[in-house]
């Protein structure tokens, strides 16, 4: 977690509960405005996805679930 996120959480924790709820809803609104479908990847997520795809990732649809023994070494 970034230093700014930790600091924001620390600051929010100091607020009364009603204001914490307001801040939470405001942050949620900002995130949805940035990505209404929650489909954008953060730079870290994009890096992790790229690494996973380069690691031999196999899409579920490409697996012959009725014949898994063909995948064993």
pLDDT at residue 47, as a whole number:
92
Mean of the per-residue pLDDT values of the chain = 87
- 15 part of a folded domain: yes
Q: pTM surpassing 0.75? A: no
SS (H, E, C) the chain: CCHHHHHHHHHHHCCCHHHHHHHHHHHHHHHHHHCCCCCCCCHHHHHHHHHHHHCCCCCHHHCCHHHHHHHCC
Integer Rg of the chain from CA: 20
Q: How many CA atoms lie within 13 A of 8 on its CB side?
A: 9
- 17 part of a folded domain: yes
- 20 part of a folded domain: yes
Q: Which domain holds residue 19?
A: 3-57
- 64 part of a folded domain: no
The percentage of the chain sitting over the pLDDT mark of 90, rounded to a whole number, equals 36
- 68 part of a folded domain: no
pLDDT at residue 73, as a whole number:
62
The tens digit of pLDDT for each residue in 33-58 reads: 887 777 778 889 889 888 888 887 77
- 63 part of a folded domain: no
List phi, psi (to 5°) of 16.
-65, 155
């Amino acid at each position: 977690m970034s230093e700014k996120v930790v600091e924001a959480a620390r600051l929010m924790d100091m607020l009364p509960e009603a204001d914490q709820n307001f801040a939470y809803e405001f942050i949620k609104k900002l995130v949805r405005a940035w990505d209404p479908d929650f489909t954008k990847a953060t730079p870290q997520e994009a890096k992790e996805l790229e690494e996973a795809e380069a690691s031999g990732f196999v899409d579920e649809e490409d697996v012959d679930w009725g014949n898994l023994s063909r995948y064993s070494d």
